[in-house]
């Protein structure tokens, strides 16, 4: 038996958010979905998540800014995604400490592989019957991102 992980998915495109949320849930992960920074912050306060998947371009805030806001309360491993995927965005994500950066349109197999690698890297792999207090990510200070 493995431990199910809770993902905070923040994507402003309703159709894409729904598709990604369903895909992640079908792969065994629990997903909280938000369409903007305000919704994401509310979910973050109400529920415990193990990591986040953030869109770079959100209404009123970037995924990078949201990542920093959430990290000021509790640091979570995160994946950033963007359709523009400019060099500046990729470098900013790396410098901010994101685990990985994915370009849209997303290949679902690449998303699944990235999430699985994040879990192995940050949590030690599939976890069997561990108490909740042992599910804290092992973040290292300047960990090499997977870009």
In the chain, domain spans = 6-125
Residue corresponding to tokens 């370009």: 103
Write the pLDDT tens digit of every residue in 109-141. Answer: 999 999 999 999 999 865 433 344 444 444 333
Cβ count within 10 A of residue 72: 8
Residues 6+ apart with CB under 8 A from 147: 90, 93, 94, 100, 101
Write the pLDDT tens digit of every residue in 70-102. Answer: 999 999 999 999 999 899 999 999 999 999 999
**What global pTM score does this model have?**
0.84
CATH architecture of structural domain 6-125: 3-Layer(aba) Sandwich (3.40)
């Amino acid at each position: 038996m493995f431990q199910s992980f809770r993902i905070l998915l923040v994507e402003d495109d309703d159709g894409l958010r729904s598709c990604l949320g369903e895909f992640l849930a079908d792969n065994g992960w629990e997903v909280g979905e938000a369409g903007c920074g305000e919704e994401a912050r509310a979910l973050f306060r109400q529920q415990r998540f193990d990591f986040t998947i953030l869109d770079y371009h959100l209404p009123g805030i970037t995924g990078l800014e949201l990542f920093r806001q959430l990290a000021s309360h509790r640091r979570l491993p995160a994946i950033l995604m963007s359709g523009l995927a400019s060099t500046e965005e990729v470098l900013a994500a790396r410098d901010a400490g994101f685990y990985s950066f994915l370009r849209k349109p997303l290949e679902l197999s690449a998303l699944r592989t990235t999430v699985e690698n994040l879990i192995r890297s940050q949590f030690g792999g599939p976890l069997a019957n561990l108490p909740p207090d042992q599910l804290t990510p092992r973040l290292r200070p300047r960990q090499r991102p997977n870009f």
